[in-house]
Structure 1
């Protein structure tokens, strides 16, 4: 579970429990600092222990485990590999779609890892799922209505009322729950001085800023989706 430093800590614990009940190992990690990555190789050996034992029975003394990294765009797959390889060999940029092809890396004595481009479902049956992915940058901003996306993000944030968001945009004296989200976007843009000729508020610029700050956790440690039943 990458970017754990940006997610709500309580939510992360709930997700770990959720996966554990399904007999799946989940490890919270922060690929920028390297936090949690020391648990990865041991977890792989534990998960693959039966397979390794069978290979050894067939005469393979030190069998190599080959792992494929699969995930949606912009979740930090290449950053994860760079930390594991301990060299900046996988190209990293803060936008989806940077990894174009498959690449193999040796990350430990008997452990190889395949980096792959990010993958998404061809379509989303649930509109909210698509919006949540777009909030995180998993969907390219260029194909979206960025202002509408920012408004939908504000719809979500207004329910949480995170302290960092309130403080960052000086909204302590505002009843944000009862302010239309588009008007709130304009208010935020005005507070940041994002004006164009005639004194109009540049809502597109405000939307881009809002999404950028959300994606860098400047608005607080926010998790957009919880396990079922939570």
Structure 2
């Protein structure tokens, strides 16, 4: 399955972020704790390379706690201030303001020494679609200021939100990046709902998810649907078992795979399959090593072709 989703408004969003990044001191990025690497926009690292960075591991209540701890250490070693968060319940909210003030302490003290007392801390809030950004802002501010929804792409324009006299937040629309270098990243984004379901075939997505879980944690599917299968089973056959276990039938007593597919993905996203993290740093290291090997092989092939071309010209 080849996944790519980059609506036109995302190009406009990136341009707007490039134009306004100079106005902020801190970039606060939300990622999905179930897929911390895949839900982290690599473009932001370049865009915010000279800014303080706070990384919010949202939906941590849906992720494996041990895996979240591993990811927290991973990102802290890369210079991020990491906060585990559940935006729906408000867990971790107070830590955001404290972290921002701590990061800006030296600058604030220097400004006060010059007589500038009420200069606010300005932060940009960023993240991919459907990662919980609007829910976080609404909870953080204490009133509904940003639209929320269960479909990616709800927020479409930037808006400044004044939290207190010393803190201002620039909200931005959810943004992906133009090309997924690894299709596993695209799949994980689709699993969690960061990519619009309307562009994907439900059965194809569900069988891809089953295939992934056979490696990560097959027991979560076995226990949820009270079915049995081995890890070399065809994902399509597992999907049929899910449909039969739930009694989803079409005319002619055929299993309703479409309905089973939608139920499976809904229940995963709702945490009913358990607290699941779909990737670990070691998986990413393997992926990056494979990418490096592919790029090296391509460079060698290109070099050989150029040499052959020059030889023929002579």
Return the match for 1:9 from 44, 65, 75: 65
Q: Secondary structure at the match of 1:106?
A: strand
Does 1:161 pair with 2:217? yes
Matches of 1:204 and 1:51 in 2, distance apart?
56
2:85 touches 2:93 (CA, 8 Å); kept in 1? yes
Q: Which residue of 2 aligns with 1:30?
A: 86
Q: Secondary structure at the match of 2:169?
A: strand
CA apart distance, 1:178: 2.8
Q: Which residue of 2 aligns with 1:115?
A: 171
Q: Which residue of 1 aligns with 2:8?
A: none
Matches of 1:6 and 1:95 in 2, distance apart?
18
Q: Which residue of 2 aligns with 1:151?
A: 207
Q: Secondary structure at the match of 1:121?
A: coil
Matches of 2:210 and 2:252 in 1, distance apart?
26
CA apart distance, 1:188: 0.3
Please list, as runs of the form range in 1=range in 2, the aligned pairs for 1:1-230 lying within 5 A after superposition: 1-161=57-217, 163-171=219-227, 174-228=228-282, 229=285
Q: Which residue of 1 aligns with 2:50?
A: none
2:152 touches 2:196 (CA, 8 Å); kept in 1? yes
RMSD: 1.6
Q: May I ask how many residue pairs the two structures share in their alignment?
A: 228
2:118 touches 2:165 (CA, 8 Å); kept in 1? no
1:163 touches 1:220 (CA, 8 Å); kept in 2? no
Residues 37 and 163 of structure 1: is their aligned pair in 2 closer, same or farther, counting only changes over 3 Å?
farther
CA apart distance, 1:162: 5.6
Matches of 2:144 and 2:222 in 1, distance apart?
37
1:72 touches 1:118 (CA, 8 Å); kept in 2? yes
Structure 1: gaps spanning 5 or more residues: none
Residues 125 and 214 of structure 1: is their aligned pair in 2 closer, same or farther, counting only changes over 3 Å?
same
Structure 2: gaps spanning 5 or more residues: 1-56, 287-314
Matches of 1:50 and 1:175 in 2, distance apart?
58
CA apart distance, 1:48: 2.0
Instruction: Please give the per-residue CA displacement for 1:99-143, whole angstroms capped at 9, x wherever unaligned.
Output: 121122122331111221110011212010110111111100111
1:2 touches 1:75 (CA, 8 Å); kept in 2? yes
1:135 touches 1:153 (CA, 8 Å); kept in 2? yes
* Structure with greater proportional helix content: 2
Q: Secondary structure at the match of 1:70?
A: strand
Residues 109 and 166 of structure 1: is their aligned pair in 2 closer, same or farther, counting only changes over 3 Å?
farther
TM-score by length of 2: 0.69
Matches of 2:101 and 2:218 in 1, distance apart?
39
